[in-house]
Amino acid sequence: MEVLFNFLLGVIQGLTEFLPVSSSGHLEIAKSLFQLHNSGSESLLMTVVLHFATAISTLIVFRNDIKTLVRGLFSKEDSSHRFFSYKIILSMLPAVAVGLLFDDILDELFSGELILVSCMLIITGLLLFLADKSKPTLKNVSFKNSFLIGIAQAVAILPGISRSGATIATSVILGVDKESAARFSFLMVIPLIFGKMVKDILAGSFLVDDVDLLSLFMGFLGALITGIFACNLMIRLVKNSQLKYFSIYCFIIAFFTLIVVLQ
């Protein structure tokens, strides 16, 4: 049963990490509905594995972009790609600061706080609704915008605020081209995921005595497969201005969760 549930968590993570509906919020709702109560270390280990899987799916989908960015970062001639790499680094700073300064406080928010999750899902829905109404442009991400998008990513650490939804919506509201906004949103999170993993590994935060490797693998597999699918799908949806449907979905899930919790 646990193997099946962890695979389901992987599917939820893979879909909701890229679709703008909050992966953290959906995972908290799923854990509460299925009454899964892992220990802190076990829960953290599974969370790290699921995020690692979605990071790998991003690397697969954007492998050509990443190769170009890495080459541009060390190239003195290719200034456009070098500057884009600098913008990615700049966008990471707010989330890194929040993670380092408020790590303990944030951990307490990921403990079945479904009323908070519902309220944050409503905020996500509002952001997506506003973004969907924005007029299409051909603007690229500027240094100023990259920092503002980074602030949105830092706020999205809260469960229920969609990271992709917040960053893409902020980009589009700032006037960035929708396809460029989606690509920037997905690329900017990769260093953060791997950085968080290294931090947790060095701290030994998820060391457990008895590791269920099959459950971990099934969670990883579910997140990887659905992550690749959702990442490609999201780019098309943003480009075609279809964020309003996710806005409606966030409202429905938020109110459904509130009704269940307040009964």
Residue 99 pLDDT: 81
Nearest C-alpha neighbor of 235 from the set 185, 159, 165, 182: 182
Burial of 66 (0-12, 13-18, 19+ CB in 10 A): middle
Nearest C-alpha neighbor of 43 from the set 20, 9, 71: 9
Residue 23 pLDDT: 80
- Give the mean model confidence (pLDDT) for residues 24-44: 67
65-79, 81-95, 107-121: which has the highest mean pLDDT? Answer: 81-95
State if pTM tops 0.85: no
Q: Is the pLDDT of residue 41 over 60?
A: no
Q: Is the pLDDT of residue 132 over 90?
A: no
% of the chain with per-residue pLDDT over 70? 87
- Give the mean model confidence (pLDDT) for residues 153-161: 89
Considering only residues 111 and 51, tell me which one the structure prediction assigns the higher pLDDT. 51
The pair of three-digit structure tokens given for residue 142, joined into one six-digit string: 């500027």
Residue 39 pLDDT: 47
Residue type, 88: I
Can you give the residue ranges of every domain in the chain?
A: 2-262
